Each structure stands twice: as C-alpha cells, then as structure tokens.
Amino acid sequence: MKELSLQLGLTPESDCNYLPQQRDQLGIVMDQPWLNPNGYDLLISSGYRRSGSVIYKPMCKNCNACTPLRINCAQFHPSKSQKRQQNQLKKLQWEFKEELDPNWFELYERYINTRHTNGSMFPANKKQFFDFVTAPWMNIAFLHLYQDNQLIAIAVTDVFPDSLSAVYSFFEPDHKLSLGTLCVLLQIEVCHQTQRQWLYPGYQIDQCREMNYKIRFMPHEKLINGEWIG
C-alpha cells in the first residue's frame, strides 16, 4: 500500500454507552483511500474498528478505558470452561458462509426483542442491521451455528489475510448454551483452519461486565501506548 496521510474528524462528545459516568468521543477516518481491506487491515492493527463503512477509534478526553485486544489464535489454550464449551460444539453444526441464511432475520428479531429493547438497534430493522455490520469495501463472512438443523447463532466476521475480526453476533436469546462464547471459539477455530494468527474481538473495557469477557481467551495482546503487549 502506498504511503498515505491519515486525516481524522472528531465526533461531538456524548454519553458513553458502556461507562455511564463517562463522556465519549471518536476519531473518524476521513480519507477515502483507507476504506478498503488493505487500509483497514493496517488500521485495525493500530487500534481502530469499524461500524458499517465508518472506521473509528475512541479519543475520549478524560477516559482511556477502551483497550484494543487481539487473541493469538496460533497459540490459543482453552481454559477448563472453554474446553467444556468446545465439547458442546460436537453436538452442533456450523458453517462459514458469504451470505446469510434466508431465515436470519427471525433469529435477529428475537435476539433484539429479548436482549436489547433499550438499545439503538430496537426495533429490529434489516436496513439498519446491514448499515451497521457491513461495508461495501470489506470482505465479510457469516459464521452460522445450528442445532438439529435449526439456526441458533450468527457471528458477522471481517476477513483479512492474516486475521479475522469479530463484528457482531446475535443468537437464540434463551438458549441454555453460552452461544456468544461459542461464536468466539468457532472464529478462533476458523483462524486455526485457515492459518490466520489473530482474532480481533473488539475493545476490552475492564469496568464494563458486558465488554470484559475478551480477556478470558488466552493468550491475548493489548495495544498499550502504540505497542502490542502480551
């Protein structure tokens, strides 16, 4: 990739969705030449993420709780709990697809109506979903998880030459299995099978219970002061 400048625009401050006592502000990538798989590959390894076609990075004035994290899939060692969950996968079926199953929206709607009635994705809307999880310039795949041929989970995944990035997952909301964790374990498995080293699960936020599960996947690295540290 040719040497490019990186121009950022700052969003107005707003209430943080993860830490209610904080205000958040994002740096948005403004340069179109970065909006492609190669450009985003470089940026995600520098701590950026995407929402739809927008590549961003938290740049909050008084908080640095959002820590970029990546799982070293080549050296992944499941915990005892994760080994039990891996055994549960033997009773399930899964497939990595370029397109969503025709009945995906019914599952997504149940998930939103049960888990996120107070969130920005409620009520469930197909256009809003695709605007949020897809980008016309990005290589995307959809991990489908089935039980007895019934769709129970989908994990939207960005695909890079040496890594995968977890974008968004939704699943049967009242299922007895930890489907969110199983999706991550399967994304790690896809990395194994395709000889990709890294899975980027998003930002780690220690003070937010919903966002601190990522540290349970070992080994992992955190981006601290511009350096990936294990």
Claim to verify: residue 168 and residue 192 sit in the same structural domain: yes
What is this structure's pTM? 0.94
Query: In the structure, what pLDDT confidence band is assigned to residue 3 with cuts at 50, 70 and 90?
Result: low
Mean pLDDT of the chain: 95
Q: Which tens digits make up the pLDDT trace of 179-226?
A: 999 999 999 999 999 999 999 999 999 999 888 889 999 999 999 999
Work out whether strand 54-58 and strand 67-72 pair parallel, antiparallel, or are unpaired: unpaired
Q: What is the mean pLDDT of residues 74-80?
A: 97
26 and 87 in a single domain? The answer is no
**Range(s) of the domain holding residue 225:** 69-229
The last residue of a domain, from among 32, 48, 66: 66
> DSSP alpha helices (H): ranges in the chain?
37-44, 80-88, 104-115, 126-133, 179-193
Residue 1 domain-assigned (yes or no): no
Q: Per the domain annotation, does 3 fall within a domain? A: no
Residue 15 domain flag? yes
Q: Per the structure block, which two tokens stand in for 126?
A: 């197909």
What pLDDT was estimated at residue 98? Answer: 96
Within 116-178, where are the H helices? 126-133
Please indicate, yes or no, if residue 2 is contained in any of the structural domains.
no
Residues 74 and 157 in one domain: yes
pLDDT in the model for residue 228: 98
Which residue among 20, 43, 66 closes a domain?
66
More confident residue, 118 or 63: 63
Residue 59 lies in a domain: yes
**Contact status, residue 24 vs residue 14, Cβ threshold 8 Å:** yes
**Among the listed residues 201, 185, 190, 192, the one whose alpha carbon sits nearest the alpha carbon of residue 68:** 201
Both 62 and 80 in one domain: the answer is no
Q: Which of 26, 45, 66 is the last residue of a domain?
A: 66
Question: Do 77 and 191 belong to one domain?
Answer: yes
Residues 14 and 114 in one domain: no
Whether residues 30 and 78 fall in one domain: no
The CATH number for 99's domain is 3.40.630.30
**Do 133 and 213 share a domain, yes or no?**
yes
Say how many domains are in the chain.
2
Query: What pLDDT is stored for residue 7 in this prediction?
Result: 94
Q: What is the pLDDT of residues 121-170, one digit of tens each?
A: 899 999 999 999 999 999 999 999 999 999 999 999 999 999 999 999 99
Q: What percent of the chain has pLDDT over 90?
A: 91
